[in-house]
Homo-oligomer: A and B are copies of this chain.
Amino acid sequence: MVLGGLECGGTKMVCAIGDENGRIIEKQTIPTEKPEITMPLIINYFKAYPIMAMGVASFGPIDLQRKSPTYGHITSSTKVHWRNFDLLGELKKEFDIPFGFDTDVNGAILGEVTYGSMKGILNGVYMTVGTGIGIGVYSNGALVHGMLHPEGGHVPVKRHPEDTFYGNCVYHGDCLEGMASGSALNERLGIAPEKVGMDNPVWKYESFYLAQAIIGYILTLSPEKIVLGGGVMNRRELFPMIRAEVERLMGGYLHTYQLDHIEDYIIPSSLGGDQGVMGCMKLAYDAAVSS
């Protein structure tokens, strides 16, 4: 089955052709500019292939309520050109095929659960720590939507006692995203975080905030596995620091096989950055078989 996958990010759009086994046959990246510039490039890319269905996973917030008049729209995004943009509608005008549609982070966890290191589990969390922070949630064997969709990047966190940064979330100031996103790191450091050594106290704060959020996810969702992705997590030294903070903050309260093997519980993605677009293949496949 020839399937199309479109992962919409704030800086780039990843377009891919693949199949129901998650194999990516062809992939192209298009910069995210205004819709008038970017959408024709996306449409041209996919027109060259005989795709039977397409999966779209987008930055948000997006409208996922199928009965809503704005289903498939990007809604209150901070990216002004894309605010209230009918993303799914514009694609449907060009392609008379079944479409799957979800958040970028739900796409990523779907990739992990279907083809990656979360295969076989029924409950998991994918957390991306990039420019912003987001979570995709899989519970009882399905993606979680609920009232809207999870927005776990904005959970409240206790401040580190030595940390004087104000927090740059425009809504909450010092919520998780305001303290620990890539954008917060840039703002607190004044230079790109990649240029800062591990001896800088910023990484101690970063681990403290991310671990707090992870503790919250564990105690609320009881996930069987947690995958951390996004640009900030390319700094692999953070993984052991975060795991140690999770153990410290948990204070021995829960005893499980997974927490006793925390290096296999809180892990990087196994799909090398393709988890999102591979999740799109699964969204496309599910749309094809249910249509």
Complex Cα–Cα for A172 and B157 (A): 15
Q: Which of A116-174 contact B (CB under 8 A)?
A: 122-123, 135, 137, 139-142, 144-159, 171-172
| Size bin of chain A's contact surface | 35 or more
Instruction: Tell me the nearest residue of chain B to A124, going by C-beta.
Output: B146
Please name all residues of chain B whose beta carbon is closer than 8 Å to the beta carbon of A44 when the two chains form the complex: none
Count of identical protomers in the assembly:
2
Partner of A215, one of B139, B145, B156, B217: B156
How many Å lie between the Cα of A259 and that of B259 in the bound state?
Answer: 35
CA gap between A156 and B223 in the complex, in Å: 17
Q: How far is the CB of A257 from chain B (nearest CB, A)?
A: 8
Contact B224 A147 (CB under 8 A): yes
Q: A155-B215, A156-B212, A158-B159 are in contact. Are A221 and B251 (CB under 8 A)?
A: no
User: In the complex the two chains form, is B254's CB within 8 Å of A148's CB?
Assistant: yes
Rounded to whole angstroms, the CA-CA distance of A221 and B221 in the bound complex is: 8
- Could you say which residues of chain B place their CB within 8 Å of the CB of A139? 139-140, 144, 146, 221
With most chain B CB atoms within 10 A of its CB, the pick from A139, A152, A153 is: A139
Q: How far is the CA of A75 from the CA of B254 in the complex (A)?
A: 11
* B137 & A171 in contact (Cβ 8 Å cutoff): no
Query: Besides A139-B221, A147-B224, A150-B222, 19 other CB < 8 A contacts?
Result: A139-B144, A146-B223, A147-B222, A148-B222, A148-B254, A149-B222, A150-B221, A151-B219, A154-B219, A155-B216, A156-B158, A156-B249, A158-B158, A158-B159, A171-B252, A171-B253, A172-B249, A217-B220, A221-B221
